[in-house]
Amino acid sequence: MQYIIRHKMCIFRILLVCFYLLVVLGVILVANAHAQKKLGFASANSSFRIAIFADLHYGENAWTDWGPLQDQKSSKVMATVLDKESPGVEQMTDCYFQGTSRVDMLKMDAQQSLSHSSFGPKSLWPSVSNYYLEIASYKYSKSPAALLYFLDSGGGSYPEVISKNQAKWFQQTAAQKNPNSRIPEIVFWHIPSQAYKEIAPRVGTPIKDPCVGSINLERVDSQTAEWGIMDILTNRTSVKAVFVGHNHGLDWCCPCKNLWLCFARHTGYGGYGSWPRGARILELVEGNSELKSWIRMEDGTTHSHMTITSA
């Protein structure tokens, strides 16, 4: 889930939710805010940083010695990344998530004072966590510097899909918030769309330009159907990239028409795969439409540095 353990207590920092039961693409935003519950740039030359913790798999086999040990290892990965990327933290009193329902998990997360997680429109349920966040500009008070969109791609007992209704909600919301497509937009969900299969490097081959990454060791396990979201995104020039998790053995970014399709890096020690753990980092700079990205590993090293302008 979206929490880390350090010195025997839970600590928490602005968390956003893309639920996949206990397999979550948790996004931690690292930035100075002008005021409580407001995200934005702190100065004219400041940066806004995002750490994506993918596939944490907390709560697996909690009745054995193995399960809690994996959770401790997952927490250590996040603590290392957060130390290197220098965020602030806040205590979170309840860190028990095993067996918690999708709705209750989001409700508990949203109650934290620095959380920006949100329930989406009930018309989209059982897809619960569909929402957007504005990143305030320091220079221009009337316009956001960036827009972040979060879509629930299902999983578990829910269909693994971005539905037509979700695609329509995104299209209508983006048209309202960014009618001229002047503001950079970044999109997050958990399970890769079918478009990822179409642009994926051949499994087991080195990742070559124009793609960027370090592991390419399994086939894309995509959503069950394509219901229009990718057509909307690829026809919208303001969308920089989509970030997903789900496939533990993939961490590449590849161009797809005008945007980039990217995997995070497997963070949790639960689930399958023995690849080294890490997290994908994103960075925006005030007044610059470029999006920078790299992967921070558990051992503190970084790799796969890239700058996303347009594909």
SS3 content of the chain, % helix, strand, coil (to 5): 20, 30, 50
Among the ranges given (6-10, 63-67, 292-296), the one the predictor scored with the smallest mean pLDDT = 6-10
The pLDDT, as a whole number, for residue 311 is 47
Confidence at 5, pLDDT banded by 50, 70, 90? very low
**Given a cut of 70, is residue 179 above it in pLDDT?**
yes
Beta strands, E only, 33-109: 47-54, 90-91
**Contact assessment for residue 162 and residue 151, using Cβ atoms and an 8 Å cutoff:** yes
Percentage of the chain modeled with pLDDT above 90: 59
> What integer pLDDT is reported at residue 97 of this predicted model?
54
Quote the tokens at residue 160: 């693994």
Whole-model pTM? 0.88
Are 267 and 56 a contacting pair, CB within 8 Å? Answer: yes
Pairing type for strands 9-12 and 90-91 reads antiparallel
Residues in the chain: 311
> Please, what is the average pLDDT of the chain?
84
**Pairing state between β 185-188 and 239-244:** parallel
- To 5 degrees, how large is the angle CA 91–CA 93–CA 99? 125
Q: How big is the chain by its Cα radius of gyration, in Å?
A: 18
Give the HSE-up count for residue 171: Cα atoms under 13 Å, Cβ half-sphere. Answer: 16
Measured over the CA atoms of residue 10, residue 22, residue 255 and residue 211, the dihedral's sign is: positive
Going by pLDDT thresholds of 50, 70 and 90, the confidence category of residue 194 is very high
Pairwise pLDDT comparison (99 vs 19), residue with the higher score: 99
Q: Above 60 in pLDDT, residue 18?
A: no
Query: How far is CA 303 from its chain centroid?
Result: 18
> What sign does the dihedral 27-1-80-299 (CA atoms) show?
negative
- The tokens of 60 are what? 């697996």
